[in-house]
């Protein structure tokens, strides 16, 4: 029996993870569930999964949650804040941590799980983008096994030869990172100029939280994933080729020196990578139906267009720059996406805002957490100032 902490259990990934966990009560028990503010959702999850701990983002939400538990005689230890999140990510009685908080808010708890040597199911790609080397080194030092559950990286993991310690990247020619192209793949620049948040949120194949949905529409998600692949598999930006594949059936591929290309395929359903990462090297059921090839109308592949979607290029450049550049990129993007969702900036301003923030920022070596957190904070201030001054010219 393995015990699991699900960080961000009320989100899209958190709910998919609990769906898989519920199918295997003989293998997994839930140690902790955490949410930012969705008190009612977290309460329902706690009723179903009976965790030892529940963690909320702030004190007011924790009080509200505690009242609900008292009224319904639900026995769970209630906590709030960053220290409590780190504690349930690193406690001795936890075997597996699912890092499914969105954005930089997940950095410290993800790092805590790596430092404590857990099996770390990583969805929170922003944490890895911000602190890549630090996080990978912490995991190596503590013998933590990082299992990617981002579907593309899980597919790459599955397409690489496995050893006892994880995977081996010898003989790789290229990592072929697939991208659906998002809901705006066929829009002209003119059409992109007037895109609303509602249009950008409508992903054709995947059902996801709002931040990653906007990142998918701008291709920033793919940019973050290029950086994620570089960190997870110790390759350079030039070893990763983004391939637009609108059907989202091939979740990514690895091309080898001998001409072989190995791909992982399946339905676009996050329960597959989650189940794979939970049980690896075993296989367990996930609730996902196998792919019916007679129903697949075709598989198409095309080059990404970085003229219409420049954030993919900007992200690759930030990874080439190295140091704190990816953390700055991520921070500026989080601020920009919030502003777009609030109607304060237009779709085409997102890339200009991120690019301009990088231009205005000092890039330092990212050797310690303090430097990374400072770079994140300064970049957020810069991006907010740029929005306030409306100093960002459109594309």
Site residues (CB under 6 A) for ligand NAD?
Answer: 8-14, 35-36, 38, 57, 100-102, 105, 123-126, 150, 206, 208-209, 212, 270
Tell me which residue has its CB nearest to ligand NAD: 11
Q: Toward Mg ion, which CB reaches closer, 252 or 349? A: 252
Alpha-carbon distances of 70 from 37, 41, 164, 352, rounded to whole Å: 18, 16, 46, 50
Q: Which two tokens stand for residue 314?
A: 């900007």
| Binding segment toward Mg ion, per CB under 5 A, in 151-159, 196-204, 291-299, 304-312 | 151-159
CB of 160 to Mg ion, least distance (A): 17
| Residue 89 binding partner per list Mg ion, ligand NAD, none, with a CB distance cut-off of 5 to 8 Å that depends on partner kind | none
Q: Toward ligand NAD, which CB reaches closer, 150 or 355? A: 150
Q: Crossing angle for the helix pair 210-218 and 349-360, nearest 10 degrees?
A: 90
4 HSE (CA, 13 A, CB side) = 29
Choosing from 86, 126, 150, 269, the residue that interacts with Mg ion (CB under 5 A) is 150
> Over the range 12-25, which residues count as b (16 or more CB within 10 Å of their CB) and which as e?
bbbbbbbbbbebbe
Q: Toward ligand NAD, which CB reaches closer, 109 or 324? A: 109
Longest Cα–Cα distance of the chain, Å, equals 64
DSSP type of residue 53: E
Q: Toward ligand NAD, which CB reaches closer, 105 or 387? A: 105
Q: Does 215 bind Mg ion (CB under 5 A)?
A: no
Give me the torsion for CA of 363, 369, 374, 376, rounded to 10°. 80
Q: Does 355 bind Mg ion (CB under 5 A)?
A: no
Q: Which two tokens stand for residue 92?
A: 């001795």
98 beta partners: 6, 121
| Residue 208 binding partner per list Mg ion, ligand NAD, none, with a CB distance cut-off of 5 to 8 Å that depends on partner kind | ligand NAD
CB of 43 to Mg ion, least distance (A): 30
CB of 143 to ligand NAD, least distance (A): 24
- Alpha-carbon radius of gyration of the chain: 20
* SS3 state at 387: helix
Q: Toward ligand NAD, which CB reaches closer, 58 or 141? A: 58
């Amino acid at each position: 029996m393995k015990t699991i902490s699900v960080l961000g259990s009320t989100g899209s990934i958190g709910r998919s993870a609990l769906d898989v966990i519920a199918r295997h009560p003989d293998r997994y028990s839930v140690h902790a569930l955490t949410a930012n503010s969705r008190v009612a959702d977290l309460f329902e999850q706690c009723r179903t999964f009976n965790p030892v701990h529940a963690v909320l983002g702030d004190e007011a939400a924790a009080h509200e949650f505690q009242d609900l538990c008292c009224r319904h005689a639900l026995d769970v230890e209630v906590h709030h804040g960053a220290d409590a999140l780190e504690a349930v990510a690193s406690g001795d009685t936890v075997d597996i941590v699912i890092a499914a908080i969105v954005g930089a808010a997940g950095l410290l708890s993800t790092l805590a799980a790596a430092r404590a040597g857990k099996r770390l199911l990583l969805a929170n790609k922003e944490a890895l983008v911000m602190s890549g080397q630090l996080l990978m080194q912490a995991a190596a030092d503590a013998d933590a096994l990082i299992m990617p559950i981002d579907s593309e990286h899980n597919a790459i993991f599955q397409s690489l030869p496995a050893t006892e310690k994880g995977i081996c990247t010898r003989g790789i020619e290229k990592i072929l990172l697939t991208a659906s192209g998002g809901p705006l793949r066929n829009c002209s620049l003119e059409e992109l100029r007037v895109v609303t948040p509602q249009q950008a949120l409508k992903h054709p194949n995947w059902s996801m939280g709002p931040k990653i949905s906007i990142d998918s529409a701008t291709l920033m998600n793919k940019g973050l994933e290029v950086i994620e692949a570089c960190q997870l598999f110790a390759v350079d930006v030039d070893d990763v080729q983004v391939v637009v594949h609108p059907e989202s059936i091939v979740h990514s591929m690895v091309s080898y020196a001998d001409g072989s290309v190995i791909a992982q395929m399946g339905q676009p359903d996050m329960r597959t990578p989650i189940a794979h990462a939970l049980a690896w090297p075993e296989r367990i059921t996930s609730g996902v139906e196998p792919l019916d090839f007679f129903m697949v109308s075709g598989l198409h592949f095309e080059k990404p267009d970085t003229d219409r979607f420049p954030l993919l290029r900007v992200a690759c450049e930030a990874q080439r720059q190295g140091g704190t550049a990816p953390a700055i990129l991520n921070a500026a993007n989080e601020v920009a996406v919030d502003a777009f969702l609030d109607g304060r900036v237009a779709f085409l301003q997102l890339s200009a805002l991120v690019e301009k923030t990088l231009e205005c920022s000092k890039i330092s070596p990212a050797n310690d957490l303090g430097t990374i957190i400072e770079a994140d904070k300064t970049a957020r201030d810069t991006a907010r100032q740029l929005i306030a001054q409306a100093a960002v010219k459109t594309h």
